[in-house]
Amino acid sequence: MIKDFKFDESQKFYKLLGYKAHVLRRALRQKNIVIEFFKDEKGSSRKWVAQGKNKTIAFNQTMPIKTLSGARRLTNDKENTKQILNKSGIRVPKGIVIDASDFDKALDWFNTLENKKVVAKPISGSHGNGIVSAINSAHKLKTTLQNSISQKLVLEEHIDGFDHRILVVGGKVIAAMKRWPSNVVGDGRLTVHELVQLKNKTRIKNPFDGRFPVVINDESLRLLSEQGIDSNGIPKKGQRIYLRTVSNIGSGGEGEDVTDMIHPDFIKVAEDCWRAFDDVECCGVDMMLSDISQPADAQSHAVIEINVNCDIPIHHWPAIGRPIDVASYIADHYFPDDELELNHAAKVVIQCKSKGVGYTKWLARQAVLFGLTGYCKNLNGTVEVLIEGSKNSIDSVLRMCAAGPGKITPVDIHYEFVPHERNESFKIL
């Protein structure tokens, strides 16, 4: 069963959930699981602990610590990942590891390819940083090596099609996304530059995509030239104009949910990838292919990367298609004995020294992060609140209400537990 994820776009504080681990912690808290944070020796607070009825798991972002210490190191090395997958009989692109200064070796390998089109990637990295695709000439290859952000590179044959992310949890595929490179679609009236501005006005509302606006950079200008247009040109109605070659959302790309379309062949490939690594609970399998609804043998395809620190929110807020609540699947996988608990409620009255406007905004953010629904309203210094959800989350937010958000200290707070009203979201009235 696919779980939909719903949120109220009019409430801007829901955008907090676009950050990697927030949406997972929210799902855990809705199961009455206690979350605590701790800092490592470097002062980083990425590590946190989730405590359920009968088990405790330490995480770094969205990864259990055991994944961080084992499989994460392996999958960070793109060439090592390919070797492991290849040994497991999984199709990967042909490639070579090369020093960025060794153009002659790169050119020799490039000339052995029947299809003279390659992709260059830093040997380690994420979010598409430093990746250059569509290298189809010796000149482009040389320029790519000279401008590389990494001394060591992986050169790979280009696989036709689109980048797809298939999310595997506990050995089962639960979501799939087609990722489009940054682009605009013409309406026959606006310029490319104006289409980008219009797209960003919509994109900014998305809790995940909105953090990464579409931009026109040097690569965009080169691609526009190759497509016979510039940023001041007007594309034809329905004409898709690409601004980047990589499809990462962090580079202005956008995701289309294709979970209902995925062919059994690609489900098997993704689940085989999961089995190829020890100590992996969840992973994103990145594949290049043309049509995920068609059999694997009917098209060119290959696995290009495994990511064990997945951006969970991309499935909650796709640019195209319906959202899927993958965080709840993951929470159920880690804590199967802890049930969803949303039937508690409390009414709170808070007296503030100031007018309380900043207090209501702060409180709404806390409610969202703790998986609570309900509302709050400010009556000129008196804040009235209804919070609904798990008992531990309500207790945590009640304690936070007493402390307040920094400079705004409440002078009095009263609460009582009441029957829950089944609100679907949290709102400022």
Give DSSP secondary structure letters for 258-327. Answer: -GGG--HHHHHHHHHHHHTSTT-SEEEEEEEES-TTS-GGGS-EEEEEEESS--THHHHS-SBS----HH
Identify the three-state secondary structure at position 195: helix
- 381 φ/ψ sector (left φ>0, alpha ψ -120 to 50, else beta): left
Task: Estimate to the nearest angstrom the gap between the alpha carbon of 363 and the chain centroid.
Answer: 25
Quick one: which of 177, 165, 180 has its CA closest to 126? 165
**pLDDT attached to residue 151:** 84
CA angle 205–362–349, rounded 5-degree value = 130
**C-alpha to C-alpha distance for 272 and 277, rounded to whole angstroms:** 9
- At 81, give phi and psi (nearest 5°): -60, -45
pTM of the model: 0.88
**C-alpha to C-alpha distance for 51 and 421, rounded to whole angstroms:** 28
Residues of the chain with CATH 3.30.70.100: 344-428
**C-alpha to C-alpha distance for 43 and 103, rounded to whole angstroms:** 41
CA angle 306–307–309, rounded 5-degree value = 160
CB-based contacts of 104: which residues, under 8 Å, 6+ apart? none
What residues does 121 pair with on adjacent strands? Answer: 154
Helix ranges (DSSP H) in 157-215: 192-203
Helix ranges (DSSP H) in 166-239: 192-203, 218-226
Q: What is the pLDDT along the chain (429 residues), one digit of tens a residue?
A: 334 455 555 556 777 888 889 999 999 999 999 999 887 777 666 789 999 999 999 998 888 887 766 666 666 677 788 889 999 999 999 888 888 888 989 899 998 888 888 888 887 665 566 788 778 889 889 988 988 878 888 898 888 899 999 999 999 999 999 999 999 999 999 999 999 999 999 999 888 999 999 999 998 998 999 999 999 999 999 999 999 988 989 899 999 999 999 999 999 999 999 999 877 899 999 999 999 999 999 999 999 989 888 899 999 999 999 999 999 999 999 999 999 888 999 999 998 876 666 888 899 999 999 999 999 998 888 899 999 999 999 999 999 998 888 777 788 999 999 998 888 889 998
* Token pair in block for residue 390: 């798990």
**pLDDT attached to residue 128:** 62
**C-alpha to C-alpha distance for 406 and 123, rounded to whole angstroms:** 44
| Architecture of the domain defined by 344-428 | 2-Layer Sandwich (3.30)
**pLDDT attached to residue 278:** 79
**pLDDT attached to residue 75:** 62
**C-alpha to C-alpha distance for 69 and 64, rounded to whole angstroms:** 9
* Token pair in block for residue 75: 């999958």
* Token pair in block for residue 387: 């919070």
Give one DSSP letter per residue of 310-326, joined into a string.
Answer: --THHHHS-SBS----H
278, HSE (Cβ side, Cα atoms, 13 Å)? 3
- 310 φ/ψ sector (left φ>0, alpha ψ -120 to 50, else beta): beta
Task: Estimate to the nearest angstrom the gap between the alpha carbon of 365 and the chain centroid.
Answer: 20
Q: Which amino acid is at 233?
A: G
What's the chain's length in residues? Answer: 429
**C-alpha to C-alpha distance for 181 and 246, rounded to whole angstroms:** 6
Q: Tokens 């030239």 identify what position? A: 225
113, HSE (Cβ side, Cα atoms, 13 Å)? 23
Quick one: which of 293, 307, 399, 392 has its CA closest to 348? 399
**C-alpha to C-alpha distance for 186 and 192, rounded to whole angstroms:** 8
Enclosing H/E stretch for 96 = strand 95-99
